[in-house]
Structure 1
Amino acid sequence: MNAMKHSRTAALGLAVLLAAPAAHAQDPGTPEQIVDTMNKLWGKHPGFRANHAKGIVLEGSFTPAPGAAKLSKAALFAGPAIPVTVRFSDATGLPTLPDGVKDARPYGLSAKFKLADGTEVDTVLNTLPTFPVATGEAFRDLLVAVSQSGPDVPSPKPIDTFIAAHPSVPAALGGLTTPKSYATQAYNGVNAFVFVDGAGKRQAFRWRVEPVAGTDVFGGDEAAQQPPNFLRDEIVARVGQAPVAFRFLAQLAEPGDPTNDATKPWPKERKMVEMGTLTLTKAVPDSAAAEKALLFMPNNLTDGLEVSDDPLIDTRVQSYAVSFGRRQ
């Protein structure tokens, strides 16, 4: 796909989002400031994303689970298996960051579902249990605090002050681990979205994606001792031997569960419904070229799937658009 087509996709995504009710009026300069600060933290690397710069692209299919269509009228859940393109990634804007260092966390899984009518649906997931902050402005301020907290800055550093005022930051980041494979890691959709069924009933949910092979992560300092590209190399070798599968689960909100604050987890007893299985069968021949062209937008949805009132969805969409424009 060429850059012009992706630019149209980004514009369409923004239009869909702006048509939805907004609970938070974002500072219009925030997305640009977020990407600027990421470039300051990690440098500018032509052709790469401002964040999650290092990745690998694979292809496969998605098969809806029996009963998924009862929750959503989206074509994604209505018929036979459809093609999917997936990108796994490491955090930061450093394209040569070793996979096993702590800065590579959280890891990401983005999926592009290709519907029979030629349209696409995107999901953008990562390994965070919750997001560190609730708004785009707060995320910008978090990044700025990090950028101003170098080793020569006296304590309390700006990041120390920010964390003291935002306990949601350590709550989100404190339990992150490094998987032994992208295929043995669970991924979360920290933002709420909405299913709409055939009768118009709406159900808020958050994605949870679990590996069929089970989770398997490193303990202690083992991850840092692995080769720099071990996650990328391992998933290519693994999928070359056998398909890699993930269960797509939806955690269903109940009345009173916040949908506009990604820092707040819903109770663990909330119902989890299986929506389908993602099966990856091959790595793309030229991942670098595929990564440069791919754009995953959290609001690139279809009838039966809608954004919620979470303000971070707006921030992510617009920041990804800024980053994509610079990448091209």
Structure 2
Amino acid sequence: MKQPDLYEGLLDALYAIFGRHAGLRVTHAKGIVAHGSFTASPAAARLSRAAHLQGARVPLTLRFSNFSGVPSTADGDPGAGPQGLALRFLLDDGRHTDIVAHSYDGFPVATPEQFLGFLQGLAGAGGERPDPLPLDAFLARHPRAQRYLEAPKPAPASYLAQAYFGVNTVRLLDAAGAAVHGRYRIEPLEAPIAPSPAALPGTDFLGAELGERLRRAPARLRLVLQCAAPGDELDDGSLAWPRSGPDARPEIELGILSVETVEVDGQVQAARQQALAFNPGQLIDGIEASGDPMLAARAELYRRAALRRRPVQA
């Protein structure tokens, strides 16, 4: 008997949770695309030989989003969090490399197989005939998944007002091949400008606020690498590393992200947004995947999800 495909099972479970919405992402269905640039720090160039980390200004495409796979989910709904931020660094030779992050420090589970069990439990608990027992049993065995579900995920006042975490470890290589392991974090560099009341109507206030904010001036975020300490689990994104106190991991500022414009509304913008296929496995020389199995799994899942949402060609 043919074994079921893990990635198709993951996608099927996500569709069971959120339903099918033609042409839209199975998660993070509602978002807004912005454009800007990235300038790496001198420390980044010493840390990695990757092309976008050498200090020259690099064009940048960003997508801010809500977690829900239901596009009508209001920004203030608990199911809208955690929010997502995807970055695409556009290189001179036509290549690109991506970072995909969200506003919760950690991933619910450590392995693709656990992720499947988690999603299937969620789908069953919320189905037409709800059965919470499989999810309850899963959470009893996986307390970090329970913590993820129970953690408050309030809507921020602005997409620009919170940190985003690249929860899987990557390996950065310098010109001599020396390696440093770490996790990305993207965080505000300055206090957001208070929006005008007219910029916050209805259920899409985060997109409206972002557009209003950038019409006044570009916004800046900092890209940070939280470095692994000896003995850290490099292959388990469900385990967050300390950021404060005596066990806080060392951090290196990799550079500054300038968020400058948002794409205008309309059908063309919506089509371009859905055609964008960010992928955390889209790496270049100087940055490698660690042994974290969820990084490879997310890369394949994102690839297949992008194929599923493409319109069928006549």
TM-score under structure 1 length normalisation = 0.85
For 2:191 and 2:134, the matched residues in 1 are separated by: 39
State the Cα distance separating 1:151 from its structure 2 match.
Answer: 8.2
- Structure 1 counterpart of 2:238, one-letter code: T
For 1:37 and 1:154, the matched residues in 2 are separated by: 14
State the Cα distance separating 1:28 from its structure 2 match.
Answer: 7.3
Residues 1:73 and 2:49 are matched in the alignment: yes
Partner residue, 1:263? 238
Q: Deviations over 1:192-243 (max 9, x none)?
A: 0010011110110000111112489xxxxxxxx9731011111111111110
Partner residue, 2:309? 327
Q: Secondary structure at the match of 1:314?
A: helix
Structure 2 runs not aligned, ≥5 long: 194-199
Structure 1 runs not aligned, ≥5 long: 1-26, 217-224
Q: Secondary structure at the match of 2:256?
A: strand
TM-score under structure 2 length normalisation = 0.89
For 2:6 and 2:75, the matched residues in 1 are separated by: 29
Distance change (3 Å), C-alpha of 1:167 and 1:72: same
Q: Report the number of matched residues.
A: 294
For 2:122 and 2:299, the matched residues in 1 are separated by: 22
Partner residue, 1:219? none
The worse-fitting range, judged by mean Cα deviation, of 151-160 and 256-265 is 151-160
Q: 1:198 aligns with which of 175, 185, 192?
A: 175
| Residues 1-328 of structure 1 mapped to structure 2, 5 A cutoff | 29-150=5-126, 157-173=133-149, 174-214=151-191, 227-268=202-243, 269-285=248-264, 286-328=268-310
- Conserved in 2, the CA contact under 8 Å of 1:56 and 1:287? no
Distance change (3 Å), C-alpha of 1:115 and 1:154: closer
State the Cα distance separating 1:122 from its structure 2 match.
Answer: 0.3
- Structure 1 counterpart of 2:307, one-letter code: G
For 2:175 and 2:125, the matched residues in 1 are separated by: 51
State the Cα distance separating 1:66 from its structure 2 match.
Answer: 2.3
Distance change (3 Å), C-alpha of 1:118 and 1:33: same
The worse-fitting range, judged by mean Cα deviation, of 65-74 and 151-160 is 151-160
Distance change (3 Å), C-alpha of 1:58 and 1:34: same
- Structure 2 counterpart of 1:192, one-letter code: T
Q: Secondary structure at the match of 2:42?
A: coil
State the Cα distance separating 1:175 from its structure 2 match.
Answer: 3.9
For 1:215 and 1:171, the matched residues in 2 are separated by: 29
Identity %: 39
Structure 1 stretches of 4+ moved >6 Å: 151-155
State the Cα distance separating 1:301 from its structure 2 match.
Answer: 1.2
Tell me: higher relative CO, structure 1 or 2? Use CA pairs within 8 A at least 6 residues apart. Answer: 1
- Conserved in 1, the CA contact under 8 Å of 2:181 and 2:228? yes
State the Cα distance separating 1:152 from its structure 2 match.
Answer: 8.2
C-alpha root-mean-square deviation of aligned residues, in Å?
2.0
- Structure 2 counterpart of 1:266, one-letter code: W
State the Cα distance separating 1:137 from its structure 2 match.
Answer: 1.3
Q: Secondary structure at the match of 2:60?
A: strand
Q: Deviations over 1:243-267 (max 9, x none)?
A: 0111000001122111100111223
The worse-fitting range, judged by mean Cα deviation, of 269-278 and 167-176 is 167-176
State the Cα distance separating 1:177 from its structure 2 match.
Answer: 2.7
